[in-house]
């Protein structure tokens, strides 16, 4: 335990720039403040992260996670598995064995986990955009290496489209990989009445 009388929460995240992390951290900060907890953030990137110049130093921050720096650790696990298999990341948490750990996003074996079930979120989103906003063209922008997300998205698109089978070919889907071609140039050919869905 740290040497002060104030309990300190450690937060393991990949980076601090994304909207998701900013919103997540805002909620954690507010909750910790309400309970008089200090917070120390470890923006340690991910294993195998494509580091830029001097960015490799971020990963070193993981070595600072211990009972000397914080009393418990909150892991934003949904930000940690883009470049390694989930099981490999789960195993890496086992070396942190001197403080309690809780996971946010992914269910980690043997660790208390806060998990949101968004299994039908994409299908519900498509239904809302189609029904309430009369949108019939959808573009999905994805990064490379996200095959699982792409597979899951495809399943929900098929389920959504199956409900609209009475009006075939009136709903169109476009796939764009932003690492391969400029997104804006591609989307310039997909006229108005377009909803753009970002897939992380």
pLDDT tens figures, 26-74: 999 999 999 999 999 999 888 888 877 777 788 789 999 999 999 999 9
* Residues 6+ away with beta carbon under 8 Å from 129: 135, 138, 195
Q: Are residues 32 and 105 located together in one domain of the fold?
A: yes
Token pair belonging to 64: 């600072």
What CATH number has the domain bearing residue 106? 3.40.50.2300
pLDDT at position 32: 95
Contacts (Cβ under 8 Å, ≥6 apart) of 16 = 22, 25, 41, 43
For the chain, helix, strand, coil in percent to 5 are 35, 20, 45
Same domain, 29 and 108: yes
- Whether residue 82 sits in one domain with residue 50: yes
CA angle 47, 142, 105 (to 5 degrees): 50
Number of folded domains in the chain?
2
Distance of alpha carbon 80 from alpha carbon 200, whole angstroms: 12
Asked whether residue 95 falls in the same domain as residue 59, the answer is yes
Q: What is the value of pTM for the model shown?
A: 0.65
Q: Tell me, yes or no, whether 88 lies in a domain.
A: yes
Query: What length is written for the chain?
Result: 200
Q: Where are the beta strands (DSSP E) in the chain?
A: 8-13, 38-43, 72-76, 101-104, 113-114, 137-142, 172-177, 194-198
Give the span between the Cα atoms of 105 and 12, in whole angstroms. Answer: 13
Of 82, 114, 146, the domain-final residue: 114
Q: For each of the chain's 200 residues, which pLDDT tens digit applies?
A: 455 578 999 999 988 888 889 999 999 999 999 999 999 999 988 888 887 777 778 878 999 999 999 999 999 998 888 888 899 999 999 889 899 999 999 999 999 999 877 667 777 887 888 888 888 777 766 555 544 455 566 666 666 666 665 554 455 655 555 554 555 555 555 544 444 444 43
Task: Count the neighbouring beta carbons within 10 Å of the beta carbon of residue 186.
Answer: 17
Sign of CA dihedral 64, 75, 48, 176: negative
**What order do you get walking across the sheet with 72-76 strand by strand?**
38-43, 8-13, 72-76, 101-104, 113-114
On whether both 94 and 181 belong to a single domain, the answer is no
63/133 same-domain check = no
Phi and psi (nearest 5°) for 155?
Answer: -60, -45
């Amino acid at each position: 335990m740290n040497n002060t009388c104030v309990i300190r929460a450690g937060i393991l995240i990949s980076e601090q720039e994304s909207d998701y992390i900013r919103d997540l951290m805002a909620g954690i900060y507010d909750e910790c403040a309400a309970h008089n907890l200090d917070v120390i953030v470890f923006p340690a990137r991910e294993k195998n992260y494509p580091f830029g110049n001097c960015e490799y130093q971020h990963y070193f921050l993981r070595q600072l996670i211990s009972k000397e720096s914080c009393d418990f650790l909150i892991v934003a696990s949904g930000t940690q598995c883009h470049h390694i298999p989930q099981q490999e990341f789960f195993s890496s948490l086992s070396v942190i064995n001197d403080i309690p750990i809780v996971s946010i996003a992914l269910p980690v074996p043997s660790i208390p986990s806060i998990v949101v079930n968004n299994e039908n979120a994409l299908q519900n989103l498509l239904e809302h955009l189609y029904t309430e906003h009369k949108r019939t063209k959808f573009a999905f922008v994805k990064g490379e290496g996200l095959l699982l997300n792409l597979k899951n998205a495809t399943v929900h698109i098929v389920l959504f489209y199956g409900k609209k089978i009475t009006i075939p070919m009136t709903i169109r889907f476009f796939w764009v990989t932003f690492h391969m071609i400029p997104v804006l140039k591609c989307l310039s050919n997909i006229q108005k009445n377009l909803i753009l869905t970002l897939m992380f």
